[in-house]
Each structure stands twice: as C-alpha cells, then as structure tokens.
Amino acid sequence: MSTQININRHLGHIFEETVAKFPDREALVFPGMRLTFRQWDDLANALATKLEALGVETGDRVSLLL
C-alpha cells in the first residue's frame, strides 16, 4: 500500500488541519512538559503576533532556535 503526498501543501495548513482534528491529543512531550496540539497552536499564534508587532511581514525570513 502506498501513500500519496501532496508536496504543494503548506506545512502551516497541514498543522491547522491536525489541530482541528486532534486538539486535545499530545503533540509535544519533553521532560517536565507536555503540550496538546491546541496548546502548541496557541503558542505558535502568540509568537506570530509578537513577530508582527516587531514589524515582521508575510514573506520575511525568520530564524528560530528550538
């Protein structure tokens, strides 16, 4: 059985779909910290809001250290 992958889809759209389907499932697990997809999405949106406030616009390149 093979799975077809649409390489033209934006990662952000795939993530949004996953949040909508599985909001309360664990998405990230670190020692001492667990995040659901909803919590991860909330953090990502908060970061986006802060970046916009700093003048970052759509299409700008941003480097992140995770």
Each residue's pLDDT tens digit, 15-66: 999 999 999 999 999 999 999 999 999 999 999 999 999 999 999 999 988 7
For 5, the token pair is 């992958």
Q: Which residues contact 15 (CB under 8 A, 6 or more apart)?
A: 41, 44
Residue ranges covered by each domain of the chain: 24-51
Name the band, by pLDDT with cuts 50, 70 and 90, for residue 6. confident
What's the CA gap between 55 and 14, in Å, rounded? 26
The predicted model gives 4-13 an average pLDDT of 81
